[in-house]
Structure 1
Amino acid sequence: MKTLLIGAAIVDLVVHLPHLPKRGEDVETTDQQISIGGCAYNVAKAMQSFAESADMFFPIGDGFYSQLIRRKLAADQFTSLVTVDQSENGYCLCLVEPDGERSFVTVQGIESEIRTAWLANLGQYDRIYLSSYQCLGDNGRRLVTWLKKQTGQLYFAPGPYTKKIAPEVLQQILMLQPILHLNEAECLALAEQSDLHCAMSVLFQQTNRPVIVTLGAKGACYYDGQPHYVVGTPAKVVDTIGAGDAHLGALLALEAKGISLLDALPTANELAAKVVGVTGATLEEEI
């Protein structure tokens, strides 16, 4: 299967705090780590752990953060389809509380600027992963225009930015019948429901494609008109950064090997459990 990942590779600064600071408060960190992250990059790393690869639509500049990213991609034997001179990539400040919950402060860079000329050079793909972070503003409109010409299956990860996408763009994405991969809170928000089963049903009716919802320690649910719950793998949570990305990356990799998404869920749950057990979004050390 020929797969394209549309998203970002950015620098993650992960900071562990006893609690999130109140306004005007100074809170000292208990630990910190600098690594390379970004939803699409995390998906690529998860796929790589199953010896599967994809084309990477990760705009990479040549600034300070960009150089860190370039070195890491080279070490991973990854190649981005888009490199841009005189541009800088963004970074994400990841604030992690003792229970592993994370809050993000994101500084956007060249990875958030999608240009029509970059898309024009892309061919057809069997599968396309799309992160919501790349769908804001005019980027979303450019991507939808290009996606409408594609014949492959779209996998859409709404993430926490879903409500920031222009409503007409989000509606057009859903009309492309994507397979949705999202956590419980994102599922409820996207469907504008308070009950998970109702939310999954609403989204399934909109897309006519399976809806996959991660449920943390409880595992995940695959909804195809009926809910199929798959129990999770026990884990000691260090932080939850990148767990959803790893989960979807595992599903994409195993599907490429001929395993159905439903049958791949137990393995995806296992990988996500390993990721929450370490600091950062992947199973590697910091840069």
Structure 2
Amino acid sequence: MAAALIIGSTVCDVMIYLDRLPNREGDAHIDHQQWSVGGCAFNVVNILHFLSQPYQFISPIGSGIYGDFIRRELKQLGIPSSISLDGANGCCYCFVESDGERTFLSDHGVEYSFQAEWLQEIAREKFDYIYLCGLEVEESTGLELVQSVSRIEGKVIFAPGPRGRLIPKDRLEAIYDLHPILHVNEVEALEFSGCKEIHQAVEGLYQRTGQLVIVTLGEKGAIAYDGNWYKAAGIPTKVIDTVGAGDSHVGAFIAARLEGLDIAKALSFANKVSSRIVASKGVHLTKEQQEALRTELKQK
């Protein structure tokens, strides 16, 4: 059975909604706050889970109030994670302004760590996709993670994220040597390529990896390139909260490809899922929204 291997963090997102972040030494009242289970890898798995796609999830959970919260939430969602660590689980403070844009302040705990032994039991299994996030690669155990993934059969899909430029060069080159699908936004594509024009940037990244490059363009949709160009239009929506939009796009793209959709249709479906996410608070859609997307995917 086709499957995806998702490796990375599950964290407690402390969602803080306010009109606008104050300047340094400023002061502001927030509208409200809430806790939500999140993290890049979780956000990907969350999409695969409600779209009924097969996956294995490697995500360590620590101790403390955030770890306890995550265990309860994952159990309620029916998403399995069997790795428990003694150290404290961190959290991410997500400041969401009135236009939906977000700012993150992360307190990293053991949820971003990695141990090679976690993959030993599945080392001989074959996966269609293996998801990696830049945050875990940036950590001190990041090289061990990349080396462990290199020994598993499957197409790597790598989302470096906004901190991707902080990944040590040798580690980044090791990932490129795996010929991963790159999933980036426009700013990240320009930064990673060193180009000033997006199409040149995408072609430059493709020349290095030899594999599909996906670039999300916000309201303008998404483009991709693997020697051929693909474009999927954006879906107009009222933006409430952009937290998890990129992660959910990755998850939906993987789900669509596992379901057998071609690249262009997979991009369009991923755009639709991402549009639903940004129109909601956090990354959790209603049961009705999930069922509608699941039905649509099965009918494509």
Q: If the TM-score is normalised by the length of the shorter chain, which range does it land in?
A: over 0.9
Q: What's the secondary structure of 1:119's corresponding residue?
A: helix
1:195 to 184, 197, 205: 197
Structure 1 segment 1-287 matched on structure 2, within 5 A: 1-84=2-85, 86-123=86-123, 124-126=125-127, 127-283=129-285
* Structure 1: gaps (5+ residues): none
Q: What's the secondary structure of 2:271's corresponding residue?
A: helix
Q: What's the secondary structure of 1:87's corresponding residue?
A: strand
Q: Deviations over 1:79-110 (max 9, x none)?
A: 114222x2221111111122111110001011
What is the alpha-carbon distance in structure 1 between the residues aligned to residue 9 and residue 170 of structure 2?
A: 23
What is the alpha-carbon distance in structure 1 between the residues aligned to residue 200 and residue 22 of structure 2?
A: 36
Q: What residue in structure 1 maps to residue 295 of structure 2?
A: none
* Structure 2: gaps (5+ residues): 288-300
Q: Deviations over 1:224-253 (max 9, x none)?
A: 223321101111001111111111111111
What is the alpha-carbon distance in structure 2 between the residues aligned to residue 121 and residue 163 of structure 1?
A: 32
Identical-pair percentage? 37
Verify the 8 A CA contact 2:7 2:41 in the aligned structure 1. yes
What is the alpha-carbon distance in structure 2 between the residues aligned to residue 104 and residue 219 of structure 1?
A: 23
Q: What's the secondary structure of 1:22's corresponding residue?
A: coil
Verify the 8 A CA contact 1:3 1:125 in the aligned structure 2. no
What is the alpha-carbon distance in structure 1 between the residues aligned to residue 84 and residue 179 of structure 2?
A: 30
Verify the 8 A CA contact 2:132 2:157 in the aligned structure 1. yes
Query: Which amino acid in structure 1 is aligned with residue 159 of structure 2?
Result: A
RMSD in angstroms over aligned alpha carbons? 1.5
What is the alpha-carbon distance in structure 2 between the residues aligned to residue 66 and residue 180 of structure 1?
A: 30
What is the alpha-carbon distance in structure 2 between the residues aligned to residue 253 and residue 166 of structure 1?
A: 30
Cα drift, residue 31 of structure 1: 2.5
Q: Select between 33-42 and 46-55 the one with higher mean Cα deviation.
A: 46-55
Q: What's the secondary structure of 1:61's corresponding residue?
A: strand
Query: Which amino acid in structure 2 is aligned with residue 41 of structure 1?
Result: F
Q: What's the secondary structure of 2:6's corresponding residue?
A: strand
What is the alpha-carbon distance in structure 2 between the residues aligned to residue 266 and residue 193 of structure 1?
A: 26
What is the alpha-carbon distance in structure 1 between the residues aligned to residue 22 and residue 135 of structure 2?
A: 25
Q: Deviations over 1:181-236 (max 9, x none)?
A: 11111111111211110110011111111111111111110112233211011110
Verify the 8 A CA contact 1:242 1:282 in the aligned structure 2. no
Query: Which amino acid in structure 2 is aligned with residue 107 of structure 1?
Result: D
Verify the 8 A CA contact 2:131 2:157 in the aligned structure 1. yes
What is the alpha-carbon distance in structure 1 between the residues aligned to residue 219 and residue 146 of structure 2?
A: 34
Verify the 8 A CA contact 1:50 1:254 in the aligned structure 2. no
What is the alpha-carbon distance in structure 2 between the residues aligned to residue 284 and residue 106 of structure 1?
A: 27
Verify the 8 A CA contact 2:7 2:132 in the aligned structure 1. yes
Query: Which amino acid in structure 2 is aligned with residue 26 of structure 1?
Result: D
Query: Which amino acid in structure 2 is aligned with residue 40 of structure 1?
Result: A
Query: Which amino acid in structure 1 is aligned with residue 191 of structure 2?
Result: A
Q: What's the secondary structure of 2:29's corresponding residue?
A: coil
Query: Which amino acid in structure 2 is aligned with residue 69 of structure 1?
Result: I
What TM-score, normalized by structure 2, do the two folds share?
0.91
Q: What's the secondary structure of 1:5's corresponding residue?
A: strand
What TM-score, normalized by structure 1, do the two folds share?
0.94
What is the alpha-carbon distance in structure 1 between the residues aligned to residue 69 and residue 286 of structure 2?
A: 15
Verify the 8 A CA contact 1:240 1:276 in the aligned structure 2. yes
Query: Which amino acid in structure 2 is aligned with residue 219 of structure 1?
Result: G
Query: Which amino acid in structure 1 is aligned with residue 218 of structure 2?
Result: G
Verify the 8 A CA contact 2:3 2:53 in the aligned structure 1. no
Cα drift, residue 64 of structure 1: 1.1
Verify the 8 A CA contact 2:8 2:132 in the aligned structure 1. yes
Q: Select between 158-167 and 14-23 the one with higher mean Cα deviation.
A: 14-23
